[in-house]
Amino acid sequence: MNAKQLFESFPPAPNSEESATFKPLNRWFCGKCRLLYHSTETAEQCCKNKICSCGVEITEQYYTTCKTCRRIQECQKEKETFEKAQKVETWDGPVFLDGFGYNEGYFDSISDFYDQVSDEEIVENDIKYVWCCDELPVCVLNTEDIVNSYCEDNAYEGFDTEILHGYKELNDAVEAFNEKNKNVCYYSQNPKVALLVYPQEPLQEPSQEMFELEQ
């Protein structure tokens, strides 16, 4: 039994004859590594040797499959998504490639990708495509939704929000707010991939000899 329940201790009042009291808490810890859990079952499983379906021992905590199997599953998933995705030759928007660049895999554009990821890295990792992303505004307010949500709890049934005053002023403010924040965006992966034209042949400066040969 590795699992042990956690208790809170209450020391006795000064000068009292009583001994300390202990109150059991709804937490269990692994007696081996002392990690804390919400149930005795999970604490019990903590430091036990877990075996992956492939037969290999799982050495990391919290996982139910081994590292190799997880990598295979990830590759399989990526392959399926790639097959379903629309392939485009050019893309103006932001792109994503997990594990690269300085911004958790997100790049402002394909040229930004080429700026951050070196030619050697691309060849070494055999990178042939990047995921296209959509730029979505973080916060777009809707006047009607705001008014309705505030009336929901307080108004009587069938209440007509149009009798409220200042609707137009509020709406103007909402529109101004949306306009000012339209460029505060996040990147969301879309089901498209941009195929990279790579390795790019370096542009050759025509030499004097080439001209001479042609003549």
Query: What are the residues binding Zn ion (CB under 5 A)?
Result: 30, 32-33, 46-47, 52, 54, 56, 66, 69
CB closer to Zn ion out of 67 and 128 = 67
Distance (Å, whole) CA 46 – CA 37: 9
Helices of type H across the chain? 40-45, 67-84, 110-116, 119-124, 143-152, 167-180, 208-214
Helix (H/G/I), strand (E/B), else coil: 199: coil
User: Token pair of 113, please?
Assistant: 């990708």
CB closer to Zn ion out of 56 and 155 = 56
Helix (H/G/I), strand (E/B), else coil: 180: helix
Q: Is the peptide bond before 199 cis (omega within 30 degrees of 0)?
A: yes
User: Token pair of 105, please?
Assistant: 């895999």
CB closer to Zn ion out of 56 and 151 = 56
CB closer to Zn ion out of 47 and 117 = 47
3-state DSSP helix/strand/coil % of the chain, to nearest 5:
35, 25, 45
CB closer to Zn ion out of 47 and 185 = 47
> Taking the complex as a whole, how short is the minimal distance between the CB of residue 70 and Zn ion, in angstroms?
8
> Taking the complex as a whole, how short is the minimal distance between the CB of residue 54 and Zn ion, in angstroms?
3
> Taking the complex as a whole, how short is the minimal distance between the CB of residue 100 and Zn ion, in angstroms?
26
> Taking the complex as a whole, how short is the minimal distance between the CB of residue 47 and Zn ion, in angstroms?
3
> Taking the complex as a whole, how short is the minimal distance between the CB of residue 64 and Zn ion, in angstroms?
10
